[in-house]
Amino acid sequence: MNVLGIESTAHTLGIGIVNEDEILANQKSMFEPEEGGIHPRKASEHHYQSAMEQLNNALAEASLELDDLDAVAFSQGPGIPQCLEIGAVMARSLAEKHDLKLIGVNHCLSHISIGTRTTEASDPTTLYVSGGNSQIIEFRNGRYRIIGETLDIALGNALDKFARELGYPHPGGPEIEKLAGKTDEIIEMSYPIKGMDFSFSGLTTEAERKMGEASDEVLANSFQEHAYAAVVEALERAMAQEDSDEALLTGGVAMNKRLREMVEKMCEQRGAKAYFPPTEYCMDNGAMIAHQGLIELENGRETEISESHKRPKWRPDEVEAEWK
């Protein structure tokens, strides 16, 4: 079954195509704000304008025509409403016009399932850290449970905000990583962990207040060390509680080398395995949506047009995952 997947929850418009054997295409175009964070209307305009081009790129990459497709999957939520709308409308139109099956999938679960497809992980405890989400997720009793999460803003969002304050462009995560790589010096900041939950709003304010007291490099390094140590400690607690011997790191922030290093080391010390999907599948992408759609269709799920509305606040633990 050839499934086309459409990702449009935030800054990325991604189109991927997968079947049971292969990931056939993964094309994307990212909205890059001239200043500030993601402006919902401008991001959705970007998605609208790049949709046809990315669709054609994906079909060309897969050497397929629209008529070779069997189904279309889309990110139904969670995400920015205006952005979700573009993906949903595009999916509905393609499904109707080309007589394709339609399936709306949860974006967070798609990050996990592409992680298990592209690594050797089978039943991991997942640390999912991106611009909009920061959660520790574990499959238990028919559902993916969120066993730890941010109490305020997402880790990627905190990195983006702090970088913007320092005067660097969006996305801020890679900018902070570059700065941090230039020093080993760390200054004391608060350590934002609460049980298996964490919070980054206070740490961001604190780092911003310290601007001028230390160099950008030292602030960036200190921010990374404190924030990443907190999520990795929470992940370790979660793995101990769940008696888990596999960790999966995913989401845009999972591309960070220092964070990968910390997860790797923690797993090594516990005798567990750490898994990192290739970076193109860590960040938002269409292939993960297509793959999640494929799994759900194989399990007899389908989304009626009348049920295909956007779900901006859809949490992964609301989904009954009978395919697992």
Name the site residues for ligand ATP (rule: CB under 6 A). 9-12, 79, 107, 130-133, 156, 159-160, 171-174, 177, 251-253, 255-256, 283-284
Write the DSSP string, 305-324: GGG----TT--GGGSB-TT-
Handedness of CA 158, 160, 165, 166 (dihedral sign): positive
Pick between residue 119 and residue 130 the one whose CB is nearest to Fe ion.
Answer: 130
Q: Which stretch binds Fe ion (CB under 5 A): 60-68, 140-148, 276-284, 294-302?
A: 276-284
Pick between residue 109 and residue 321 the one whose CB is nearest to ligand ATP.
Answer: 109
CB of 177 to ligand ATP, least distance (A): 4
Write the DSSP string, 10-24: SSEEEEEEE-SS-EE
Write the DSSP string, 123-167: SPEEEEE-SS-EEEEEEETTEEEEEEEBSSS-HHHHHHHHHHHHT
Pick between residue 251 and residue 293 the one whose CB is nearest to ligand ATP.
Answer: 251
173 binds, among ligand ATP, Fe ion, none (CB under 5 to 8 A by kind): ligand ATP
- Torsion angle of alpha carbons 282, 283, 284, 287, nearest 10°? -40
The burial of 215, by beta-carbon neighbours within 10 Å (0-12 exposed, 13-18 middle, 19 or more buried), is given as middle
Q: Are 14 and 47 in contact (CB under 8 A)?
A: no
Q: What residues between 246 and 275 interact with Fe ion by CB under 5 A? A: none
Pick between residue 29 and residue 130 the one whose CB is nearest to ligand ATP.
Answer: 130
Residue 81: cis peptide before it, omega within 30 degrees of 0: no
CB of 160 to ligand ATP, least distance (A): 5
161 binds, among ligand ATP, Fe ion, none (CB under 5 to 8 A by kind): none
5 binds, among ligand ATP, Fe ion, none (CB under 5 to 8 A by kind): none
State the Cα–Cα distance between residues 174 and 156, nearest whole angstrom.
10
State the Cα–Cα distance between residues 78 and 75, nearest whole angstrom.
8
171 binds, among ligand ATP, Fe ion, none (CB under 5 to 8 A by kind): ligand ATP
Pick between residue 15 and residue 255 the one whose CB is nearest to ligand ATP.
Answer: 255
Which of 130, 135, 157, 292 binds Fe ion (CB under 5 A)? It is 130
State the Cα–Cα distance between residues 126 and 121, nearest whole angstrom.
10
82 binds, among ligand ATP, Fe ion, none (CB under 5 to 8 A by kind): none
Write out the H or E segment, with its range, that includes residue 104.
strand 101-106
Q: Which stretch binds Fe ion (CB under 5 A): 125-133, 135-143, 290-298, 304-312?
A: 125-133
CB of 224 to ligand ATP, least distance (A): 8
CB of 157 to Fe ion, least distance (A): 12
Q: What is the identity of the amino acid at 298?
A: E
Q: Are 290 and 7 in contact (CB under 8 A)?
A: no
| Binding of residue 284 to Fe ion (CB under 5 A) | yes
CB of 99 to ligand ATP, least distance (A): 30
Binding site for Fe ion (CB under 5 A): 130, 284
